[in-house]
Amino acid sequence: MSEFWNWWIIIITVVNILGCWILLIATRKMKGSDAENETTGHIYDGIEEYNNPLPKWWLNMFNICLVFSVIYLILYPGMGKFAGVLGWTQQGQHAEEVEHAKKTYAPLFEKYAATPITELSKIKQATEMGKRIFVNTCFGCHGSDARGNPGYPDLTDKDWLYGGTPSNIEQSIINGRNGVMPGFAATLSAEQVDGLVQYVGKLSGHQVNESKAAIGKIAFDQQCFVCHGNDGKGNQAMGAPNLTDNIWLYGGSSTTIAETIRKGRNGAMPAHSELLGKEKIHLVTAYVYSLSNK
Ligand code: HEC
Ligand code: HEC
């Protein structure tokens, strides 16, 4: 901070405090005019305004505020560059809190890091720590209740793109995941896409046009089975969703299915290994695991 701003702040602060003080003294002096019923001369609809001094308790509140501000400015930073007698700083307080948190949580993190996820998911304190990490880091995409959004999977059900074992979940979080569903607008005719929409709907038990679905099945067995499997039940090794369970990542309406097939989809789950570190990932994994394994 330059000298100019230093003095600028000091002078404005001092002038303000002195100004308030002088104003208080000035209003108190009005008490001298002891005419209790003196009015200001203002009359509104026959109601007159008395010229009474401020009530005592009110004045005292102001006085206390003034004294407080002076004491505060002596103890804490506020007067330009003056650091305050206590030497308090924001950074100092933050560092202290971080240090405190480390001391409190380090042994817990260590203990929990050595506990298997299946056990950890039953320890309330651990899942609560995991939940806090989840709410801070993951809720923007998966929702604060982990139920997901279109394109962002629901983590509370038993339907997994990449598998729901503790190590599957942990891998999803550590390394991230990239769903690659190619677009077929260039490869397939409109009739084939339409047929596939009917066939994919049929796999999930929707009412469909059977003759169109038959055309779709032929295309499916040529183009889609590699990833989604002959029976449409998906493949967790590549994150190809099960198309037979009526649980949808992007949506099960005809329009959405057609869009998925024409344009493709590329859901991306970012890697979190650097952001969170092993121990936190272990805890958040236990939390996610607990959601579908009650
Ligand atoms: C930027 C958005 C984003 C953030 C942040 C994010 N995720 Fe994801 N996550 C996704 C997407 C998108 C997918 C699906 C990837 C795909 O479509 O292949 C996913 C997939 C997953 C999966 C695999 C689900 C399955 O069905 O196999 C898990 C587990 C998961 N996320 C957990 C987490 C956790 C825990 C966090 C926080 C530490 C987190 N995610 C943060 C977007 C996100
Ligand atoms: C290269 C592998 C691959 C091929 C081939 C493929 N898919 Fe997919 N499909 C995926 C993946 C991976 C996803 C998930 C995308 C994501 O996570 O963002 C997906 C998602 C979908 C979805 C969205 C499901 C939902 O829950 O919203 C539909 C529908 C779908 N595919 C249908 C098809 C059809 C029909 C074909 C054939 C024309 C096909 N896929 C071919 C890999 C593939």
Q: Per residue in 236-251, pLDDT tens?
A: 999 999 999 999 999 9
pLDDT tens digits, 135-183? 999 999 999 899 999 999 999 999 999 999 999 999 999 999 999 999 9
Q: For residue 193, name the pLDDT band (cuts at 50, 70, 90).
A: very high
Q: For 11-20, 106-115, 262-271, which range has the lowest pLDDT when averaged over its residues?
A: 106-115
- 291: CB partners within 8 A, 6+ apart: 146, 155, 156
Residue 101 tokens, joined: 């948190």
pLDDT of 196 higher than 60: yes
Name all residues whose Cβ lies below 6 A of ligand 2. 179-182, 184, 196, 200, 220, 223-224, 226-228, 238-241, 243, 248-251, 257, 260-261, 265-267
Atom from ligand 2 closest to the CA of residue 184:
38
The yes-or-no verdict on residue 84 having pLDDT over 80 is: yes
* Distance of alpha carbon 237 from alpha carbon 227, whole angstroms: 9
Specify whether the CB–CB gap between 188 and 196 falls below 8 A.
yes
- Location of structure tokens 């100004």: 19
Assigned token pair, 118: 């299946």
Among 49-53, 119-123, 217-221, 285-289, the minimum mean pLDDT is found in: 49-53
